Each structure stands twice: as structure tokens, then as C-alpha cells.
Structure 1
Amino acid sequence: MSRLPDQRFWSGKRVFLTGHTGFKGTWARLWLSRLGAEVTGYALSPATVPSLHQLAGSTSLAAETIADIRDGTTLAKALDDCNPDIILHMAAQPLVRRSYLEPVDTFDVNVMGTVRLLEAARSLEALKAILVITTDKVYSNDESGRHFVETDRLGGHDPYSGSKAAAEIATATYRDSFFRSKGVHVGTARGGNVLGGGDFSEDRLVPDIVRAAIAGKILDIRSPLATRPWQHVLDCLNGYFLFCEALHSGAVPVESLNFGPSPDEAQIPVGVVASSVQTAMGLGQTWQDTSAADKPREMHALGLDPAEASRCLSWRARLSQADAIDWAARWYDQWRRGEDALSLVTGQIDAFTKGA
């Protein structure tokens, strides 16, 4: 079973978290706060109503700035005020289909937003580690079905994937040009497809299921046979936090790591995930295949090999893909029945860290 974050390490650490109003960012700042970190958030206002950020409240934050990651002046001031030990950069335009509609904005946010952050971070005195979050989609996917390793060629068939691959290159450039000589350790994390309660984003499978259930509609699924490296948000964040610890101490020999389910697990198609979530929520299995409809290209097969994270960090997914699906479905089912969102998040954090 995977190691867990060291509370003694995180207690009192100043963490600058970008994208803290997003789904994954909200889970991150709530868990970091429980570990004793002083979290400063920087992000746009939540993109959806409802949002987990709004449902959970902001009491876990030491400070927050609601602004664009590309606003270099505001960003630099927020960083200076925080004087962080660690930067965890999660702010992004994260949606593949939106990237086809807004390619320039996607590249601007994902590449130049990252560059603005790295540039502003150069003058920070206390900084020891920067972790830039990219995606499993940074690899040049040949649809072979094999699981990508960190040394595979980067690329992107869509603007989102290409922008994240470009952000990897920009991060490596800043690391080699400016941060290495200062003793600041910089890494990139490539996480698989994340499942978890409180994601209300557009064009994502589980939120689409929840919206369809609430509206009493049949769910449309674009690619029911496509496979993805499904993992629970807590498994993914656990990897990020362990990577931050290792970067801070200079104890990790690599600069990019994959985080996803073991390749030994059978890959679960999108349609099976949808049916499993609907069943776990007590819903009828009602979805329809719209894969024949005209739509932008999306990869059919995608897998990651997280062996390097296991070797370097003693990290591996604590939840199977089936358990990740079940945990996410139970969160949404309890929330729509009136349970408090913050209590549901903290309850699952407690269960996860106790090995339940």
C-alpha cells in the first residue's frame, strides 16, 4: 500500500496553490489544511454552479486571491505576500472539447500562465520546491494501447494536450535556466483521469451522469469503448504531495512522474464506468451511445505506467479503479440526498488515510 503524506513535514509549511477553486484544487487545499499546511490560494472564481469550492467554504485557506494566472503583477504580489516554501500549480484550462473551441485561450492559460508563475517565482527567498501539474495526455499517443512511461515522446492531437506538453517544456526550461542553480527543485506530475465527489465540470463523465440524473434525462456518451487510467482524486493528490515532499528535500532523482492505476489492473471502458456509477447511485442504467455523432477527435486508448512513482516515492494507488468509481458515486449520491459536501470530503479523506 502507498505511503501517505508526512504530517510532520507539512505542518506549518507555506503552500501557494493555484487553481484552488477547482474540483481537484478544493480537495487539495482541504487535505493540505488538515495536514497543518498554511495554504494560500490563487485562482479564478469557480467555473460552475454549484462548485465544490463554494459548497465546502474557504475556512481552510490562510489567504486567497481571485485573479487570472496570466496577470503577472497580481500574481507576483500574491506570491510575495505568501513567500511560500512550496508552489503547487494546478490552475489550467482543463477541458479537451473546450480547447477545440478556444485553442488560443487554452495555450495562453496553460503555457503562458505557467510561464508567468515560474517567472514570478524566481525572486522568492523561501521557495524550495515547485510542482507543475500537467496531465496523462501530454504523450504523443499512437493509440497502441500501451502504458506510457515518463521518457516517452511528448505531443498532443488536440489543443489541450498540446498546450500541456508545451507547459512541460516551458517548465523544464525554467528549471534548467534559473531554478536549478538556486537549489529550487522543480517537477511535473502527469495524473490519470481523476474521479471524485464535487466535480461539476462540463464534459466530464461522472458530473454528466449526476446532471442527467437530476434532470431526469438519458445520458449521452461519446466514446463508451474508450479506456482511461481511472483513479480517485485522493490517490492522485497523495502522489502530488509525496512528490512535493521529495522535491523539497532534494531526495527524488527524477523530474517528471506518472500517477495512475497499476497496468496490471484491467482497463475499464467509459461505458462500464457510467453503468457502474449509475448502479452505485441507485439509478437505472440509462445512457445512449453518441459516438457516431460529429465531434472533435479524442483518443480511444490511454494508459500510464506509474512504476517510477512507486520506485521513487513508494507511491501506488490505494484504491482500485472499481473502488474509485464506488467512492465517487457514493459521494454524489449522499450529496444529492442532502449530506453536507465538506463533511463528505473530510470523511473520505479520513477513510483514505486510515486505509479504509
Structure 2
Amino acid sequence: MTPPVTSPATAPQILARCRGLIRPALCRAVRQLHPWHGEITAFSLGWDGVDGGDVPGAQGKGVRQALAVLGAEAVGAKAGSAVAGAVAVELIHTFSLLHDDIMDGDETRRRRATAWKAYGTGPAVLAGDALFAQAVQTLADAPGGTCVPAVRLLAATLTDLVRGQADDLLFESRPWTGPDAVRPHEYRLMAEHKTGALLGCAAGLGALLGGAGRTEADALTAAGRHLGVAFQAADDVLGIWGDPAVTGKPVHSDLRRGKKTYPVLAALASGGPSATELGALLRGGLLDDAAVGRAAGLVDAAGGRAAATAEARRHLESARACLESVPLAPQALEDMLTLLPYVVERTG
């Protein structure tokens, strides 16, 4: 009898499967925190209490968890071997968001108040610190003999993460134009550290905890880092031209904040009349509604949106090439290749 033909899993189905696998362990990790920190963490994760259900629209997609699970499956291991890595990465991601929102002054995330607005700055900082510690402990307690290289990868990732955040903050004080202006290649390196490192860590941890050799683990880590840069470039496009009904942010939000993002930096570096006018407009300080609309048009006219989209596509192809450079389990590879464009080619 011929076996039935099954349709390939869609990206949302892949993400849902991986979230379902990791959620019980993630709940256990959150319950191990101080009750106050656990409450703040549950709020940040979009949960209704540490054991409650999800608040509609308040959760992330679980991309990092999925990369960890698929990283293990890709090297022929069972998905369960990646649980500790997936939990650790999710805790670190939540820690980084708690601190980022404070540093950036963001008052909303996923259509509700950020933790520092809901609980105060001090409690949010402490909750982030607790998550950092819990992530390291979770990975150190992973069964088997793979925890040492896994903790080393997490430590290197944390170094990259805080380096990227430092550069992002320092960019704010640099001029828009002139010899000290931020260049696109500097921004690309910042994005690899701040965003790519953790995505790479997720896939690499899954592989390491699944017993992979260094070649496979390095290839998966590199793929995740490229995916992170692609994600950041796409996110920068949404930060200017995204639909507020989908992104939950005002139109042109990054321009209103004077945030240095890839489309703007690429536009300024392009030369030409639109770039010159854009530089003069940005040097004038905060933009009113009319000026911010004009700035968005100039970024587009100077090729900033096209450059950011091309950047995302280049890194997406580089991520694909990394995955295809080593022998991986066919089903996990197919799932990863399904997930890559979904993460980047989103609308919110």
C-alpha cells in the first residue's frame, strides 16, 4: 500500500510545534525565579501569570526556540535534546528586551506596556539580571557531556550581544553626515552582534546539545547569524514603512525617534540630491509630521529601502548556503529552509 503523501509543514506550524515542546520547560525555569521576577517575566513573555494562558497578541513567534530544536534535529538528534538550549536562549532574549526597552525608552511592546512601564525601571532591570543568571544555570544543568561547549557558546554570544548594544547606543551620539557618521558596514556589524549572535547561538546550541561535531555546529551558528542580519534589515524597513495596524508602532516610528537604521544610513551614503537633502533635514533635529513624511520619501528616493531589502535577501541566501554546506537531516533542513524566508519576509 502506498503511504499517503503529506504536505510540507508551514512556518507557523513549525513554530507552533517547537513552542509546544519548549513551553513546559520554560514555565519551570520561570517558576524557579524569585516570585516578583517570575511575574515580570511572565508579563514580558505575554503570559497570564507564570502558569497562565497566553495573552492574545502579546507573545513572540518563538523563532529562537525553533532554531534550537531544528538545530538538534538537523544533526540527527531528538528534539528533546535541545530543550535546555532553547530555554536558555529564550531567557536571554527576554532579558535583552527588558533592558533594551529601558535604554531605548520604549513604552510599548506587542501592543501593551513594556515591563519597565508596568513595574518600574528598577524591577525590570532586576528581572533581566535574574533571567541572565537563570539562562546560564539552565544550560549548565543540561544532561550529558555537552554543557561545557554549550556554555562557552552562550558566553561568547553574550559578549557579542552587549557589544552590539553598546555600539547601537553610541551610534545615537554620532552625526548623520561627515567623517564621523555611522557607515552601513558599521551598522551591519552591530546588527550581527546585537541580533544575529543570539539567533546563531540558538541554532548552534541545538546542534551542540544534539552531539554535533564542530563543523556542523559552526555552519548552523553561521546560518543563524546571517538570518539575524537579514531580520534586522527587514525590521528596519518595517520601522519606517510598516503598517501600524500590523506592527503596533506609529508610521515612520524610527525616523520620528531619530534612530540610525540601515535604510537611512544606506540612503545617506548613496550620494545625490535626495541624500543631500535628507542629510540636511536630519541634521535639523527632531522632525514634525510633515518633515518625517518628507524624510521617509527621501530615504526611499535615495535607494535606502531598496538597499535594506537587498541586504536582507543577501544574508538570507548566505544563511541558506551555510545550511547546505554540511550534511543535515533532510526533514530538519527542509523545515529550516521553510522558516528562513518567513522570519524575514514578514509584515509585523
Q: Which has the higher strand share?
A: 1
Report the TM-score when normalising by structure 2: 0.36
Higher Rg = 2
Report the TM-score when normalising by structure 1: 0.35
Q: Which has the higher helix share?
A: 2
